[in-house]
Amino acid sequence: MDADRMARTLARIAHEISERNRGIEELALVGIRTRGVPIARRLAEAIKDINGVDVPTGALDITLYRDDLMRHAVGPQPLVRRTEIPFSIDDKRILLVDDVLYTGRTIRAALDALIDFGRPRVIQLIVMVDRGHRELPIKADYVGKNLPTSPSQSVQVHLAEVDGRDEVEITES
Amino acid sequence: MKKDLLGISDLTRDEIYLVLDTAEAMREIAERPIKKVPTLRGKTVVNLFYEPSTRTRTSFEIAEKRLSADTLNIAVAASSVLKGETLVDTALNIEAMAPDMIVLRHASSGAGHLLARLCKSRIINAGDGMHEHPTQALLDAFTIREHKKRIEGLKVAIIGDLLHSRVLRSNALLLTTLGAEVWVSGPRTLMPPAVERFGVRASTSVDEAVADADVIMLLRIQHERMNGAFFPSVREYFNTFGMTTARMARAKPDAIIMHPGPMNRGVEIASEVADGPYSVILEQVANGVAVRMAVLYLLAGGEGD
């Protein structure tokens, strides 16, 4: 997937969001660090272009909620970064955003984290790529692209804000 | 990170920044409706305090609870230490109950090192005698960085009872490692011999130490550790070394005032300074929880870099 496809995919998802959610005012976007955050910001812009509404956007770091944190006997702890949700999520329709949906464990952690911030009316999941191989009963509401992969492959979403270019790449590892 | 945090001397420059950056992320947890993350679920932390402490013990306990660890407080006043048990025996008995971490406050320098050799549990030094108090120095650095956006190149004046102060040692090590210029001042009798070995500049003139300082840190006069006459009277100490608004005028206009607590008002610090707009003393306390959460989290992982 190249930059052009990615832009069109995000525009499509923004339209889907606008269609499916009457009452845009109740929406809020929360991106999962690292790459869910710029995707959430781009979606906020796209929604503004369509509806003229500013959707509040936050950033969620799920490190402290990971289910594999204390299982590594050796090696340093993963880096914790700031969670920034500068609005109340109570009774909001939360759009959770991530780049790649794989085992579902990140989303499980994100749901636990979000619940600590309040009680949203609905949480919906947006991902740029769904690569299958779920280990938990989790499903995305908006998918940029379904990519059938094998577990030996690695899927990278590159974003201009983080990586200097927009591209989805599959590599053998 | 190493297995234990016994002193700032255990930490590299990069590890110090890792603790400060992690604390930055931890601080946000205190602003949530539910001030708790599940990170240390199932871990047991023992707070073993051989010296009275309100701030540090409470701060550690809140940090542990916010990370969901199970905490246990052993205050010596109510323990079998009074029945004659040695530190080693107490530690081995606690170790037999398999805690994951022990936070130790002890009046003897090096008590943490002794425990670290004996125990599989990770040891966090919460102050050992006149040696080190690493989490205090880390929270001080965190507070300074927050106000000044950097530590490198700042002038920091540390004034007070330098001789009995573990806070001085840890702060001097940390601040000079990060490139600050540290000045110390106090009566000759309360300066450790060859205090310059900590990488600091010493002066018996407070005015010289404070001149153009970005940060002024006051240390408590530790009457309980003094077994002699170090200065003629509290009043004379205050007149010569106490921090007043007049003395502060020599520092930079945006200088901040710090104190690790507990404060002796009218001894090392005038009330008007302690309560002044430039005082960040209560912010230090708030930041202490975030910094200790960062240390607990980072130590709970594996060893190595």
Task: Give the up-direction half-sphere exposure of residue B232: CA atoms within 13 A in the CB hemisphere.
Answer: 6
Residues of chain A contacting B, Cβ within 8 Å: 61, 64-65, 69-70, 72-77, 79-84, 112-113, 116-118
Question: Across chain A, what does the average pLDDT equal?
Answer: 94
pLDDT value at A173 more than 80: no
CA distances from B177 to A15, B12, B146, B151, B239 (A): 53, 8, 18, 10, 33
Indicate the SS3 state at residue A81: coil
**Contact assignment for B297 to A64 by CB distance below 8 Å:** yes
Whether B133 has a pLDDT exceeding 60, the answer reads yes
**Mean pLDDT for chain B?**
93
Q: What is the pTM of this model?
A: 0.94
**Hey, what amino acid is at A81?**
R
Contact A61 B25 (CB under 8 A): yes
Query: CB distance A83–B36 less than 8 Å?
Result: no
Rounded percentage of chain B residues whose pLDDT exceeds 70: 97
Give pLDDT tens digits for A28-83. Answer: 999 999 999 999 999 999 999 999 999 999 999 999 999 988 776 567 889 999 99
Helices B87-96 and B111-118 meet at what angle, rounded to 10? 40
Residues B173 and B134: their CA atoms lie apart, in Å, by 10
Residue B303's pLDDT is 62
Lowest mean pLDDT among A33-42, A53-62, A144-153, B220-229: B220-229
Q: Span B21-28, mean pLDDT?
A: 96
Give the lowest-confidence range in A3-17, A68-82, B89-103: A68-82
pLDDT tens for B283-300 read 999 999 999 999 999 999
Average pLDDT over every residue of B107-121: 94
Q: Which of A77, A83, A91 to mutate to test the interface with B (most CBs of B within 10 A)?
A: A77
From residue A125, alpha-carbon distances to A141, A169, B69, B184, B198 in Å are 5, 22, 31, 56, 54
Confidence of residue B255 (pLDDT cuts 50, 70, 90): very high
A117 contact residues in B (CB cutoff 8 A): 32-34
What does the pLDDT read at residue B27? 96
| Closest chain B C-alpha to A55 CA, distance in angstroms | 21
DSSP state of B161: -
Residues B165-217 pLDDT 10s: 999 999 999 999 999 999 999 999 999 999 999 999 999 999 999 999 999 99
pLDDT of residue B78: 63
ipTM: 0.90
DSSP class of residue A102 equals S
pLDDT value of residue A36: 97
pLDDT at B305: 43
Integer Cα distance of B94 and B99 in angstroms: 7
Answer yes or no: is pLDDT of B280 > 80: yes
Point out the least confidently predicted range of A40-49, B71-80, B270-279. B71-80
Among candidates A61, A70, A84 on the partner chain, residue whose Cβ is nearest the Cβ of B300: A70
Q: State percent of chain B over pLDDT 90.
A: 86
Contact B22 A80 (CB under 8 A): yes
- The tens digit of pLDDT for each residue in A121-136 reads 999 999 999 999 999 9
Percentage of the residues of chain A whose pLDDT score is greater than 70: 98
Chain B residue with Cα closest to A90: B33
